[in-house]
Amino acid sequence: MFIRLDGAYDDLQKIRDTPIAAGGRTLRLADIAEVNRGYEDPATFLIRHDGESALVLGVVMQNGWNGLDLGRALNAEEKQIARALPAGVRFTKIVDQAVNIQEAVGEFMLKFFVALAVIMIVSLVSLGWRVGIVVAAAVPLTLAAVFVVMLVTGRVFDRITLGALVIALGLLVDDAIIAIEMMVVKLE
C-alpha cells in the first residue's frame, strides 16, 4: 500500500512507530508491514517536462507574504540547489509567479501615472488653474490615504486591490470633476 502523508509525519521512524489496534492488541506499523521511502512502482502518474521524466517541486506562498520577495529568495535557492545536483540532473523553473506579479504591478503603475498625467492636463486646460489643481490633487491624495489605511489595517497589495484601485481611480476622477463643476456653478 502506498501512502502519501502530510503533516506530523516528517520522519520514517515515526511512521514505523505508528500504533495499530488489531484484535484487541496494539502493534506498531513496522510489526505488520515493511515501511520504506521510495518511488511508487509502477507509477500511477508520470510527470514529464520537455519530453523527459521529471520531479516537480511546488512552492506555495503563505497568505500576506510578498510574492516579489519570495521570487528573489527562490532564485537564490535555485542557484544553490543547481550547484549541488549531480551530473545529468538539472533544475528548471517551469512557472515563476514573481514575474507575473512584477508585470501586473508595473502595468498598474504605468496606467496610474499616464491616467494621472492626462487628468492633470485635461483638468488644468478645461477647468482653469485653480479648479484644475483641486481635481488633479484629488487622485494622488486619495490613493496616498488608501495606502496608509492598507498599511495600518494589514491589507496586502495584490491583484484584487490593483483591480479595485483601477476602478476607484475612474470613479474618483469622475466624482472630483462633478464636485468641482458643481462648486464652480454655485459660485457663479
Residue 22: half-sphere exposure toward Cβ, Cα within 13 Å: 8
Return the pLDDT at 5.
59
Rounded to an integer, what distance in angstroms lies between the CA atom of residue 91 and that of residue 68?
A: 21
**Rounded to a whole number, what is the largest CA-CA distance in the chain?**
95
Handedness of CA 156, 158, 164, 165 (dihedral sign): positive
Does the structure show a pLDDT above 80 at 177? no
Residue 163's closest CA among 107, 95, 118, 117? 107
Least Cα distance to 65 among 180, 181, 156, 151 occurs for 156
Q: Which residues lie closer than 8 Å to 116 by C-beta, 6 or more apart?
A: 136, 139, 140
In the chain the first and final C-alpha atoms are separated, in Å, by 85
Mean of pLDDT over the chain: 80
Cell numbers given for 91: 533544475
pLDDT tens digits for 116-172? 788 778 778 877 787 777 777 777 788 888 889 988 998 877 778 877 877 887 787
Per the CB < 8 A criterion, the answer to whether 150 and 157 are in contact is yes
Weakest-pLDDT range from 4-13, 48-57, 78-87, 112-121: 4-13
The dihedral through the CA atoms of 95, 158, 67, 141 has a sign that is: positive
Q: 31: helix, coil or strand?
A: helix
Query: What's at 57, amino acid-wise?
Result: L
